[in-house]
Amino acid sequence: MNNGKPNWWSRPSSTPEAARIPSPPPSGDGEGDFPLPAPQPRATPEPSVAAVPAAPTEQPPAPSVVLTKGDPQGQDRGQDMDRGQDQGQDRVQVPEQAQVPAPEPVPAPPAPPADPAPAPQAQASQAQPLHAPDEYRTPPYGEPGPWAPAPPVQRLPGPVPPQQGPGHPVPPVPPQPQGPAPWGQYDPWGVGGAALPPAPAKRSRKGLAVAGALVFALLTGVIGGGIGAYVERNGGLTTVELPQAAAEDTGRAPDSVAGIAASALPGVVTLHVKGSGSSGTGTGFVLNTKGHILTNNHVVDGARSSADISVTFSSGETARAKLVGKDTGYDLAVVQVTGVSGLKPLPLGNSDNVRVGDPVVAIGAPFDLSNTVTSGIISAKERPITAGGEKGDGSDISYVDALQTDAPINPGNSGGPLLDSKARVIGINSAIRAAGGSGGDGEGGGASQPGSIGLGFAIPINQGKRVAEELIRTGKATHPVIGVSLDMQYDGDGARVGEKGKDGTASVTPGGPAAKAGLRPGDVITKVDGQRVHNGEELIVKIRAHRPGDRLELTLDRDGKELTKTLTLGSSQGT
């Protein structure tokens, strides 16, 4: 079974001079079975190692162990060492020792009769199993037995027993430290070794790199967030502070635009009117503490009842307003609000005192932008302006001897006040001139246009005051007349009295102011109170700029002759 090789329990036939570190036993029969034959008795007992007395003095180191070819036991040990090397054990290098003369041998006592059991000396020279042989043939290493699994076996080489030869005793070899056994730490047939600590687990370099990247990203995010918060709160990494004027008194001079606006805005209102299928926005201003408000006729003309007119004050307070009276020829109307306290009427000026170039301020709600303030100057006076005429019969045409201003006036400014430098009303904003069109504004009169081009017109407050008083008193306004019908198709210079009036009646009203002054059909009126007129519209404007009962001086051309006539203005009921 062992192919003629000596077993690990064999006794050496002779004591060699040198020994080799034992190697693991042979692999057996391939199944892990190792028969254990009984040891053979020896004829002559060998002297025991214990019988050798210790040297009285310290022995020098022994020579290194050399294995001989004729030593069977050395061969066995060599085989054991070879198996230890196969199992991952390092070969043990025995340090060389100096040779010393062997002491005189001491005769040993006679040995007892041979005993079947091995002598203690022989047992001491060999490694003894810790357990009795397994009768169920559990192999020391290899495949498990049939009844119970056996743990892997790692045979640990024992210490080299001291060898004694004639004249060359070998001292015992101390046990060498053992490395980790690849087949486990348990050997049921050998001497157990000390348990080895588990090898520390190797950390993955990839895991360390990922952890480092996560820590770096976290720190970067914290630092970046802190920097971002600082920049957001402080406006940047560096402090930037621009020079700025210190706070000062907010008061303004009363004659400045800001002073005029602050004084007048509480008395200006915005009107929203709903009509039949349409709506509009305009402006007005408070006349008295009774709630009367003056505005343009074309602003409220579409209202069917008082429920259709809403008034909004500069403070944001709103109220319903009722229509008191209106007049198409003057393009003026009066509405009234009730139940509103704290009304501030605007003071009225005198438009006759206005001079060209005087500064003015306009307040209104262009395109429904309430409380809009613009400023300019008086560009001209006594501009004859006609507005309306959408009906086609002339009943809605208004004739205004207007104040011209370059203060921006847009749709929504209609009905708002035109103020002088003392915040007094000198006109009612009424019309604008559109590029390529006639006078009018976006709320009703004349050609529609996108906005102001610097040509705005206002009804003089002197005329507006008289009409407003009549509307508040009677709901109607009276127009001054001279009692003639004009030829509006006349294209010459001046206003020509027609040959026939409407419906074939006389062009000069019998008993009227013109008839009493001696005017005839065909006369051409060229001047009114010394001011030139170029057509019939201008004559009407000049006449309506006066009150009924005022006296006028007319210059006329009759058959090439210039004549002067004086008359007293009559009156007619307005519409």
Going by their DSSP bridges, the two strands 551-558 and 524-528 should be labelled as antiparallel
Identified catalytic residue from 298, 375, 479, 557: 298
Helix (H) or strand (E) holding 120: helix 120-125
Per the CB < 8 A criterion, the answer to whether 360 and 353 are in contact is: no
Nearest residue to 287 via CA among 325, 242, 251: 325
The residues, any chain, with a CB within 8 Å of residue 81's CB and separated by 6 or more, are 20, 21, 22, 23, 24, 91, 157
Structure tokens at 545: 């700029």
Per the CB < 8 A criterion, the answer to whether 302 and 278 are in contact is: yes
| Residue ranges with strand state E in 268-371 | 268-274, 279-286, 292-295, 309-313, 318-327, 332-337, 359-364
Nearest residue to 312 via CA among 302, 320, 301: 320
Angstrom distances, CA of residue 64 to CA of 19, 83, 169, 491: 9, 22, 12, 154
Query: CA-CA distance, 210 to 509, in Å (whole number)?
Result: 111
Query: CA-CA distance, 77 to 518, in Å (whole number)?
Result: 169
DSSP assignment of 34-66, as one string?
---PPPPP-SSPPPPGGGSPPPSSPPPPPPPP-
Paired strand residues for 319 = 311
Length of the chain: 575
Q: Is 76 a catalytic residue?
A: no
Q: Is 479 a catalytic residue?
A: no
Identified catalytic residue from 301, 331, 523, 557: 331
Q: Is 272 a catalytic residue?
A: no
Q: Which residues of 67-90 are buried (b: 16+ CB within 10 A; e: fewer)?
A: beeebebbbbbbbbbebbeebebe
Q: What is the residue type of 479? A: H
Task: List, by residue number, the catalytic residues.
Answer: 298, 331, 414
